[in-house]
Amino acid sequence: MSQASPKTAPRTAARQPVDSRIADNKKALYNYHIEERFEAGMVLQGWEVKALREGKVQLTDGYVVIREGELYLIGCQVNPLRTASTHVSADSARTKKLLLHKDQIRRLIGKVEQKGHTLVPLNLHWKSGKVKCEIALAKGKAEHDKRDTIKDREGKREVERAMKTRNR
């Protein structure tokens, strides 16, 4: 039996673990009440996928809009790699199309038309070698709800600290 040379050796599907996070939108959980979550595929260019593998993405200012019955992710910054995008004019703030089933999009259109509901991206992650965007149907939090969130978080931290010192 002959050994395969490095050039002809079979490539692995992805260099990343099968289901790993690329980026999280931590502001979304602070600013919104999450009502329902959806996983959408993304239409990306090659240089964007390479940049995502390196973690060159910022999701905090991103939001989802519905145009002509399709979903688009706006405000998601994918910073191009210098080495991977020499022949392509990269637009880091390019609008990216999200892929969902038609019936899910129709349901979302109905919900978003209700007062106070919006679509926000929660995270980008790898799933079976493909980039997926988790989006959420959300309702904006009032200022007092945000304060309650902070109080709950600080309370949990204090309990954890107390448990740590007690266990020592």
Calpha distance 100→91 (Å, rounded)? 24
User: Amino acid identity, residue 109?
Assistant: I
**Does residue 68 lie in a domain region?**
yes
How would you write the pLDDT of the chain (168 residues) with one tens digit per residue? Answer: 445 544 544 444 445 444 588 888 888 887 888 888 999 999 988 888 888 888 888 888 888 888 888 999 998 888 888 776 566 677 777 888 999 999 999 888 888 887 778 889 998 888 888 889 999 988 887 777 778 888 888 888 888 888 888 776
Backbone angles phi, psi at 113, to 5 degrees: -70, -20
Range of the domain at 80: 21-141
CATH number at residue 132: 2.40.280.10
67 half-sphere exposure, CB direction, 13 A CA radius: 10
Within a domain: 59: yes
- Which of 97, 91, 100 minimizes the C-alpha distance to 38? 100
- Domain assignment present for residue 55? The answer is yes
Q: What share of the chain is helix, strand, coil (3-state, %, to 5)?
A: 30, 35, 40
In a domain, 164, yes or no: no
pTM of the model: 0.71
